[in-house]
Structure 1
Amino acid sequence: MRKSRIQARRERMYFVWGTVLLLVVALIAAAAIYLQFTRSSEVDKTTLCPKSGPIGHVVLLVDKTDPLNFTQKQAFQALLEEIITQKVAPGELLSVFVLGEDYTASAIPLIELCNPGDGRGKSELTANVNRLKRQFEQQFRGPMLALANELQSQQPAKFSPVLEMIQLASINGFRARSAGGPHTLVLVSDMLHNTASFSMYKGDYDYKHFLESPYGRKMNTDLAGVEVELHYLLNTPNLQTRRHLKFWEEYFSNAGARIVSVRPLEG
């Protein structure tokens, strides 16, 4: 009898401690879920970037010194959507620059925002998926797509300072932000630099000769580790030859970058 009472008492104690242990584990799990949920929303309210900083940086530089034709406009709209939804990963920063005739008037980005993520791949247990999707659409994708008209012109410009704008995209884009991870420069342009100091319309694509000139030395910039994607506007195909592309390959290589893709924009 006495042994039975002692055994019963032990069993009750085991049950009580087991229940306490289960409660402790449940509280720890709940705290972990809460912390994960909280961290998922820890972004800067202005830039939508993680408070620890962007995990990558995409700089988009769009040339608007020549009007787009109808087909080019459709292709550009599709490209812009592709960049916003596929090229910029959640947590990465997208900086948008425009190349106009007066590069001093467009020295800073038109807009800079991080992709906050749209909730895909997230669990309802650890993230507010609906809030993330709404934030992505209203605060990132929407404002970026609204720029489409600002990135296009109606009249051709007299000058096209491509080299100056690449310098500014480096200085006020990549170097102005402490972003970790990959750095990508996406260029939408015919890449036919044209200023009083140097014009590619004269057919001079000798990069070594250019680099040895005073203007060429001034146009040096630092794009170390940057991957470059060219989306060619084929406005003057007779000038946009293999020699023309070779000039830019050597230019970016000298700046520490490399061209990873060349894609003509339809039209």
Structure 2
Amino acid sequence: MSRRNNPRNRKDARVEKEDYWGIIMLIVAALIIIGIGGAFVYSKKNMPEIEKSTLCPKSGATSVTALLIDATDSLSIQQKQAFLSAFQSLSDSISLHGRLDLYFIHDTQTSLLKPVVSLCNPGHGAEISELVGNPRHVEQTWQDGFGQPLEREITQLLNASPEKESPILESIQSVVLTSLSAPIDRDKPKKIIIVSDLMQHTSNASLYRGTPAIESIIQNKSFNRVKSDLRDIDISVWMLARDNALSRSKLVELWQRIFAEQGAQNAYFCVLVESNGCQNDR
């Protein structure tokens, strides 16, 4: 019998072939394990160190959004619902490790405004792979540390008592100084969202006395004291429609010029409409 046709030789060849593929599979499995382990180590190594109280990276937030709410006049039930709808979309859109600072318009004569709450988005569970993290834990952190605290503060703000004055310009200036001027945030995307009827009302300037010529506002000494540096800051206005307000078109035109005089490149205006959130009014 030839060596080639020897049954024992054929069996040995099959065994060698099976051993060969077994080794290949072990190597592939090892490479997969090493790859997963490497991804996990890389993820951990590149994960920023987080402040427990704010959920923000100690190296600074990836972006800063300041939400300034005008509750100096009461909001209707419909306006509250429209705002809550728009706010839900906003909180979901904050970038990973981006910061959201919550303010309400208030007197700034004795002190600058401070954020009612300042938190960073820790990320949703759906954004985390099970290979490098715990999606359920991440989602719970978002709910307990970011979503629910913001909702509680928003509810309190919307139920706040009306105030005699509505210092919108002064409040914007305060927000820029306290939230958007830190050196650590210099090159980060920055945004102010103003929820208001835009009816500035203080002893120095009040739109309830009629729509002034824009030149008279810009040349007024009080404007120079309250204007801000809005360069490199995106501006959005969620307008509240009220019966005693001027026409929206006149208000938008007026405030576009006011923002431009402070260096803003553009400003987006929309109207809070019943339960439909913010709708473009342009």
The TM-score, its normalising length taken from structure 1, stands at 0.83
Shift of 1:103: 6.3
The answer to whether the 8 Å contact 1:230/1:259 transfers is no
- Deviation digits for residues 40-75 of structure 1 (CA, Å, limit 9, x no counterpart): 474222221233321111110001100111111111
Of residues 208, 220, 229, the one that matches 1:213 is: 220
Shift in CA distance, 199/142, structure 1 to aligned 2, threshold 3 Å: same
Larger Rg, first or second structure (1 or 2): 2
TM alignment of 1:29-178, pairs within 5 A: 29-38=35-44, 39-40=46-47, 42-86=49-93, 88-101=94-107, 104=110, 107-153=113-159, 155-176=161-182, 178=184
Partner of 1:4: none
1:226 matches 2:233: yes
- Deviation digits for residues 215-235 of structure 1 (CA, Å, limit 9, x no counterpart): 111122112111111111111
Q: For the residues of structure 2 that align with 1:101 and 1:152, how far apart are their CA atoms?
A: 17
Q: For the residues of structure 2 that align with 1:234 and 1:103, how far apart are their CA atoms?
A: 27
1:189 matches 2:189: no
The answer to whether the 8 Å contact 1:97/1:106 transfers is no
Displaced runs of 4+ in structure 1, greater than 4 A? Answer: 18-28, 101-106
Report how many aligned residue pairs link the two structures: 252
Computed over aligned residues only, the root mean square deviation of the Cα atoms, in angstroms, reads: 2.8
Moved more, 180-189 or 194-203: 180-189
Q: For the residues of structure 1 that align with 2:147 and 2:266, how far apart are their CA atoms?
A: 27
What is the identity, as a one-letter code, of the residue corresponding to 1:62? I
SS across alignment from 1:74: helix
SS across alignment from 2:258: helix
What is the identity, as a one-letter code, of the residue corresponding to 1:110? V
Shift in CA distance, 52/32, structure 1 to aligned 2, threshold 3 Å: farther
Report the identity percentage. Answer: 25
What is the identity, as a one-letter code, of the residue corresponding to 2:203? A
Shift in CA distance, 104/137, structure 1 to aligned 2, threshold 3 Å: farther
The answer to whether the 8 Å contact 2:238/2:270 transfers is yes
What is the identity, as a one-letter code, of the residue corresponding to 2:194? L
Q: In structure 2, list runs of 5 or more residues that go unmatched.
A: 1-23, 275-282
